[in-house]
Structure formats: C-alpha cells, structure tokens
Structure 1
Amino acid sequence: MAEPVDALPLPRPRILRQSWLDLTFVHWAVDPESIAHFYPEGTRPDTFEGRAYIGLIPFRMAATGFARGPALVPDFLETNIRLYSVDDTGRRGVLFLSLDANRRDVVAIARTVFGLPYRHTPMEYEVSASIHTYLTQQPPSRITVQVGEPIEPGELEHFLTARWGLHVRRAGRIWYLPNEHPAWELRSAELLELEVGSLLTSVGLPDLSVEPPDHVAYSPGVRSYFGLPRGSAGR
C-alpha cells in the first residue's frame, strides 16, 4: 500500500461550505486491530505511534451553503463519532460511525446525497463563561468541559485535526470527499462531565466509555470548503 500523502489543493469547483464552531475533541487511543472491522475494503486505520484513535466531537454547525452565496441551512448542532482512515492511494481522512444532528432535513439530505450515517436527535448546547455543555437525547449523552488557555498543536493534535477529507462507502464504492480549512486554533479543555456510554454503545463501542479519554481539546472553530467526491481509484 502507498504511504499516506499530505493534503492536495482542493480542486475546483468547490461545492459546499460550512463553519464548524465551538468544538470539543474527545479522543481515546486504541489498538488498531480492535477497530479494523469498521473499515470498508480499500481503507484501513490510520495510526499515530502505533495507536489508532476514536474521536467524539460535539459542536455547532453554521453557515452551510454552496461555496458562494447565502447560507441555505439554519445553524444546527451535531455530535459525531469518527475514526481516522487512510486508503490505498495514501489519502488520509475520517470515517464516521455516526453523526447525530438536531435537524431532520439535514439528516435526510446527508444520508440520501452523501450516504453518511446521520441520525436525528434533539440536542442542546449551553455555554456559561468558560463552561461548555453538549447534550443529546437519543442516544442520551452529556459532555461538559471547562475551556482553558491556547495550546500549541503538536504532532498528535495535527494528526487528529488536520484531516482533508472523509471516506464513505456508497453504491458499492469507496468515495473520498475532500475538504480544506485553515489550521485549528486549539485550547486546553478539562472534562467536568462525560456521560456517553449509550452513545458509544449505539455504534458498537460498548467498552470504550469505561476508559478515561487520552486527549481532550477545544476549538472556537474554522470555516471549511468541500470539493467534488472522488472515487476509490484515484486522487
């Protein structure tokens, strides 16, 4: 298999833009073999120093629309569970196990058009000074963090956040949806509450919540752009 490659310039046309805001990154390090069964043929776990990572990321989605023009979708909340992937051509990306959102229209469109595993659930986001709380109803979860000072991203932070696309299986093929965004501004974050057992169990990770996360961080967010999906055969 080819070695992973760095991000390529996003080809035109850009088809979509989004702003990802007020994100908390919660990550567990695991044995790559323990999650290999989640990956479709043609992809495999991407690793950092021999470990794979599972990410749980709640945030606000804003300003979704075409690359130019007004936003087409009102702001909404999302919580996703993701893995880190690399395909046979060396493209690094993410592989979503679930994407929970509180807008039914977004869920329907994303599932139909892109084949992404979106699910609808009522959600809430609360912020008071440096305390941020994210809640989902079904499956129930509650994440509360206290945001601290800016941190200088290291190699692990770049591995977890500098992702330039996502892998998705659709119509019998592996598709890669490329994106671009600026470097993340990251801040330290202390977990005050983490009640996510049902959420993790719902995607086949029943034992993960008994372990404390290996990495937690917060970001005020970035604006991202997506290009046209590419098939599994090329970049």
Structure 2
Amino acid sequence: MKFLSAQWKHLLLANYNVQASVLEPFVPKGTQIDAFEGRVYVSLVAFMFEETRLVGIPIPFHRRFEEVNLRFYVSPKNNPSIRAVTFIKELVPKRIIPLIANNFFHENYAALPMDHCNEPNQHWYSWQNASHNRFSANIDSELALPPAGSLGEFITEHYWGYSQGPRRTLQYEVRHPQWRCCQIDDFEIDVDFAATYGDAFAFLNTQPPTNVQYAEGSPVSVSFPSYL
C-alpha cells in the first residue's frame, strides 16, 4: 500500500555546485554522496502538493500546500546504481505534516508561513522566518524530457529517499513518470540560507546556482519506509 499519493506540480529547482565536505555531516549511514561528472550538487526545490492522500485517505485542509526543501544526492553503498535524495530540511505551511513526516520518516520538516503564485509562465514560492524569502522564475522555454546523461536528468530522475533514523537509516521509494522540464534563465532567489537551513549553508546567499530548472510535475506515490 502507498503511504502517500499526491500531485507534485510546478517545481522550481536551483542547483548549486558545492564541496562534498559541506554535505558529509548530513549523509545518512550506509549511503554515499552521488556526484554528476565529478561535481557535487545541492538543490533548492520549491513546488506544490496537490490532491494529497495518506494511505488513500484525503486529509481535510491538508490536500494542497507548498513545500520548499534543500536536498542533495546520494546512493546506497550496497547498490551505487540507485539514484536517491536526502534532505537538509523541508518547509511546509501545515503543522500536522512535520508531525507525521518527522515521526514516520525521520525527516527534518518544519512549518512556516508560506505563499505561492502559479501562472502559466510565472511561478514563485515564499516563506517567512527571521526574514522574507522568495524563489521566483519566469518560464519562456518549451518543456521536454531532459536529454539522457544530462545534468537535468540527474537532478530530476531520483526515485528513492534516505533519512537517518535514531539507530538505522530509513529508505522509501518515490514513483513518478519522467518529468518534462526546461532550463530557466529569468529567475530570482532572495533567500537567507543560513536562517532557513543553518550556518553551514550561509555561503549560498552569495553563490549563484549552476543552473535553474522548471519541471511541470506529475502524480507521485511514496512507499512506507523500511530500513536500509
């Protein structure tokens, strides 16, 4: 049975080339950092949850909401062919979501005031902590499946998640079709990374991303977690 099913829509992904040493403290046990052409990436990802269900049940007032996360890419040491993600922190506007996700998946969710706009060619997501943060983009390119072997494919094609539990690492499968996407040239990232994700990521305040992508999204499902 699926733990969660939803639509993930209108994804903005800002991808930063970083030193592996920055991410090492956050690598779940039994996994290793997954690099693309020798480079390590961390991604700021903003998108909409829609039509959300837990174990097939729609939860009132929790079917549609924003999420913004900071993630990077790993693979299990016992099967390096698996492409997976792990999260530094995930932001949502609903308080019950961190309660569920942090307990079942040992993720690092937090609830903050959030807002968004999804127009045909313009998308933005915002959240409020010690400062006002906003990630926006204008879409002016045709959408297409990313070329095989491209950075776009590497960033968007991950179908497993890993998180560090109190004693063991948890793993879960994320299923969705391949996403059509495009590179974005017209974007603005006004984010206090230190306030949002910790002092280890303060350097991203002044570092431009390697690239920014838009993905239209799709239906997704997330399995119940199991131990690695």
What TM-score, normalized by structure 1, do the two folds share?
0.86
> Is 1:88 the equivalent of 2:77?
yes
Cα separation, partners in 2 of 1:137 and 1:70, compared to 1, 3 Å: closer
Residues 65-74 or 154-163, more deviating: 65-74
Q: Which residue of 1 is the match for residue 190 of structure 2? A: 195
Match of 1:74 among 40, 63, 77: 63
Matches within 5 A, 1:41-80: 41-66=29-54, 68=56, 70=58, 73-80=62-69
Q: Which residue of 1 is the match for residue 123 of structure 2? A: 132
Once the two structures are TM-superposed, the CA of residue 37 in structure 1 deviates from its matched residue by 2.2
In structure 1, how many angstroms separate the alpha carbons of the residues matched to 2:91 and 2:66? 8
Match of 1:179 among 174, 181, 204: 174
Q: Which amino acid counterpart does residue 193 of structure 1 have in structure 2?
A: E
> Is 1:216 the equivalent of 2:212?
yes
Q: Which residue of 2 is the match for residue 141 of structure 1? A: 133
Q: Which residue of 1 is the match for residue 157 of structure 2? A: 162
Q: Which residue of 2 is the match for residue 117 of structure 1? A: 108
Residues 129-138 or 96-105, more deviating: 129-138
Once the two structures are TM-superposed, the CA of residue 128 in structure 1 deviates from its matched residue by 4.3
Once the two structures are TM-superposed, the CA of residue 71 in structure 1 deviates from its matched residue by 5.9
Unaligned runs of 5+ in 1: 1-12
In structure 1, how many angstroms separate the alpha carbons of the residues matched to 2:25 and 2:223? 28
Does the 8 Å contact 1:24/1:219 carry over to 2?
A: yes
Matches within 5 A, 1:7-18: 13-18=1-6
In structure 1, how many angstroms separate the alpha carbons of the residues matched to 2:77 and 2:2? 24
Does the 8 Å contact 1:17/1:225 carry over to 2?
A: yes
Does the 8 Å contact 1:101/1:121 carry over to 2?
A: yes
In structure 1, how many angstroms separate the alpha carbons of the residues matched to 2:57 and 2:167? 33
Match of 2:201 among 202, 205, 217: 205
Does the 8 Å contact 1:23/1:59 carry over to 2?
A: yes
Does the 8 Å contact 1:32/1:47 carry over to 2?
A: no
In structure 1, how many angstroms separate the alpha carbons of the residues matched to 2:57 and 2:127? 31
Once the two structures are TM-superposed, the CA of residue 67 in structure 1 deviates from its matched residue by 5.5
Residues 174-183 or 72-81, more deviating: 72-81
Deviations 1:89-147 (CA, angstroms, capped at 9, x unpaired): 22321110000001111122111222110011011102344121211101531111011
Cα separation, partners in 2 of 1:55 and 1:188, compared to 1, 3 Å: same
In structure 2, how many angstroms separate the alpha carbons of the residues matched to 1:102 and 1:166? 22
The percent of aligned pairs where both chains have the same amino acid is 25
Q: Which amino acid counterpart does residue 146 of structure 1 have in structure 2?
A: N
What TM-score, normalized by structure 2, do the two folds share?
0.88
In structure 2, how many angstroms separate the alpha carbons of the residues matched to 1:217 and 1:208? 17
Q: Which residue of 1 is the match for residue 94 of structure 2? A: 103
Unaligned runs of 5+ in 2: none
Structure 1's consecutive aligned runs of 4 or more residues displaced over 6 angstroms after TM superposition are none
Residues 62-71 or 156-165, more deviating: 62-71
3-state SS in 2 of match to 1:148: coil
In structure 2, how many angstroms separate the alpha carbons of the residues matched to 1:147 and 1:22? 11
